[in-house]
Amino acid sequence: MCGIVGYVGNKTACPILLNGLHRLEYRGYDSAGVAIIGADNELKIYKCKGKVDELENFIADKDTEGTVGIAHTRWATHGAPNNINAHPHLSQSGQIAMIHNGIIENFRVLKEALDKEGFDFRSSTDSEVLVNLIEHIRNVNGCPLEDAVRVALKRAVGAYAIAIIEKGNPNRIIAAKQSSPMAIGLGEPGEYYLSSDAASIIEYTKDFVYINDGEMAVLEKGKPLQVFSLDNEPVAFSTARLDLSISQLEKGGYEHFMLKEINEQPKTIIDCTRGRISPETLEITLNGVANNIDRFLNARRIIFVACGTSWHAALIGEHLFEDICRIPVEVEYASEFRYRNPVIFPDDVVIAVSQSGETADTLAAIELARKSGAFVYGINNVIGSSIARATDSGTYIHVGPEIGVASTKAFTGQVTVMTMMALMIAKRKGTVSDEYYREVSAALLKLPELIEETLKLDGEIAEMAKIFTYARNFIYLGRGYNYPTALEGALKLKEISYVHAEGYPAAEMKHGAIALIDAEMPSVAIVTPDSTYEKTLSNVEEVKARGGKIISVMAKGDELVRRISDFTIEVPVTTECLMPIVVSVPLQLLAYHIAVNKGRNVDQPRNLAKSVTVE
């Protein structure tokens, strides 16, 4: 994970770097640091454990003047989160400073070799090994720094996005990437920004160059951008424009990004369906699907690969594609799939689901699928992200930047896109009646209204959260389309409140987990009118009979469910396959309020990062 940012130009670098780091903190917040070269050509490095605010306090009275600099916010992989392991790392001679996002997998071997050459290491990071390898190559070959970087990177195995500055050279940043994201922002002619995420520097520029894996860039003040391959061949590059406004990156009056993002859902669903569902004809058009319709119609199977919340959305996708399209579906954790030697046929369609588009395991699963000749489709949020570029085609969910670590609006956007995809394919395949197609299509357009109505339950849910703030364990129950919703509800609670929660298929309870039930264990039961309604009701009765406390997420006014519930969250009803979208909203709010009551850092929960770019 980690976030990197850089600047070279005529402006004072430090405020730009700190601002960028704040916006990148979602990628990691164990430590932060900055390296700047001042007018005296000296290299100044400041770094400390903790968040960017702590770095800001630490450097408040320090000399941070200079117009070239690099900065880093860390999610620890190799080495504890402390001052020494914080980036930037300095080479042994103190000449070269480097920031790194990724993992150098063969760092032990490289370190052993450098040990023998007399290098001492201050930190326990893989990154310090790389900066010293660069220095060693430069010493031995007497070559320019960029040549040493190229040679060193050819020896490094793993993932990296690096930026390097050098004492005595206040005009230049050298950057390179392999499997970790990097965007180079173009300012005034000869002025450059660099970041792990273009959105983090959007107030300075909207024009970006995304360099590819195995490429290196030289950002030199007053000179044109140069991009090379690691074989020193010049590489042509293009500029992409990112239309994003600053307000999309700010809290907009909400206490937390997560709360803002939950409340944005009526609008994000509109953005997600805009121009894709005709309000007049209810016709659905997704270009990515339309342009590749034969791949879907001839698919032997659909295999979803995803992680975390995106994996939960994919489980709903499984229901949708099997139910509506009659295509066999498998849903895989990307991290398991890639190491399992899975059977993938050339006529399989692999759908990679990811909010960030940067999840390392999902990227690796895509690579595996491509090698087997399968058609790979992406469902992503971040435009121009690595996964969006690595897939054959795809559909963006268009829900805007999601900054809270806990995914909310991305989940509902992903399910919305999957529903549109399934309907479109089913119509061409003839596996759906015109009536059902139109019913679900119309229901998608009505969803924002229903979510708006559901959001009005916030006050009620906040009160309920007070009662359950100190429960030590929760169980979430659901069936059918809402079993994945139960998993997602439990994940939300775990990740932001640090309370143990398990999602369970309601009927499976009696095969073991029901033993956990007592008066101390609240069960959040999703009992909405659908094809498993009566069965779920019986499962909830079983829990109730054992003294469990029941919080039901249920259809507004359902007396039967009210009677067996201790607490109720009454939501409006839509067609069965869209109920997970409505139901997930109060579950997000419940988790949010419990976490706030417990004083947790809702947007940046401990040990987590928004974008998991390590394997």
Residue 601 class from Cβ within 10 Å (0-12 exposed, 13-18 middle, 19+ buried)? middle
Identified binder of ligand M6R from the candidate list 495, 570, 603, 615, rule CB under 6 A:
495
Shortest Å distance, C-beta 509 to ligand M6R: 24
Residue 391 sits in the site that holds ligand M6R (CB under 6 A): no
Identify whether the C-beta of residue 356 lies closer than 8 Å to the C-beta of residue 385: yes
Beta carbon nearer to ligand M6R, 362 or 574: 362
Separation between Cα atoms, residue 297 and residue 299, nearest integer Å: 6
Residues 287-346 that bind ligand M6R (CB under 6 A): 307-310
Which ranges constitute the DSSP H helices of 196-322?
Answer: 257-263, 265-273, 287-290, 293-297, 308-320
88 counts as binding ligand M6R under rule CB under 6 A: no
Which CB sits closer to ligand M6R, 345 or 498? 498
Closest CA to 369 of 330, 396, 322, 423: 330
Residue 92 in contact with ligand M6R, rule: CB under 6 A: no
Shortest distance (Å) from residue 276 CB to ligand M6R: 21
* Among 283-291, 400-408, 450-458, 586-594, the segment contacting ligand M6R (CB under 6 A): 400-408
Nearest distance, CB of residue 361 and ligand M6R, angstroms: 8
Which residue stretch of 40-48, 103-111, 269-277, 402-410 sits at the interface with ligand M6R (rule: CB under 6 A)?
402-410
Least distance to ligand M6R from the beta carbon of 312, Å?
8
604 binds ligand M6R per the rule CB under 6 A: no
Letter for the amino acid at 236? A
User: Is residue 263 involved in binding ligand M6R (CB under 6 A)?
Assistant: no
Examine residue 19 and tell whether it contacts ligand M6R (CB under 6 A).
Answer: no
Q: Which residue is nearest to ligand M6R (CB)?
A: 308
Question: What token pair was written down for 206?
Answer: 């909207």
For residue 530, give the DSSP letter. S
Task: Please identify, using beta-carbon distances, which residue of 33 and 181 lies nearer to ligand M6R.
Answer: 181
Strands (E), 452-561: 473-478, 500-505, 522-527, 549-555
The footprint of ligand M6R on residues 404-433 (CB under 6 A) is: 405-407
> Does the protein bind ligand M6R through residue 550 (CB under 6 A)?
no
Cα separation, 308 vs 325, whole angstroms: 25
CB of 308 to ligand M6R, least distance (A): 2
Query: In the annotation, is 206 catalytic?
Result: no
Number of amino acids touching ligand M6R (CB under 6 A): 16
Alpha-carbon distance of 521 to 307, in angstroms, equals 28
d(CA 131, CA 142): 16
Catalytically annotated residue among 2, 14, 307, 325: 2
Question: Choosing from 111, 260, 494, 610, which is the catalytic residue?
Answer: 610
Residue 612: CB minimum distance to ligand M6R, A: 5
Beta strands in 127-214 (DSSP E): 158-166, 169-178, 183-186, 192-195, 207-209
Rounded CA-CA distance 571/567 in Å is 13
Q: Examine the residue annotation and report whether 610 is marked as an active-site residue of this protein.
A: yes
As a whole number of angstroms, the distance between CA 469 and CA 63 comes to 46
Q: How many CB atoms lie within 10 A of CB 533?
A: 19
Q: What is the rounded CA–CA span in Å between residue 322 and residue 90?
A: 54
How many residues appear in the chain? 615
Contacts to ligand M6R by CB under 6 A: 307-310, 354-356, 359, 362, 405-407, 491, 495, 611-612
Catalytic positions: 2, 610
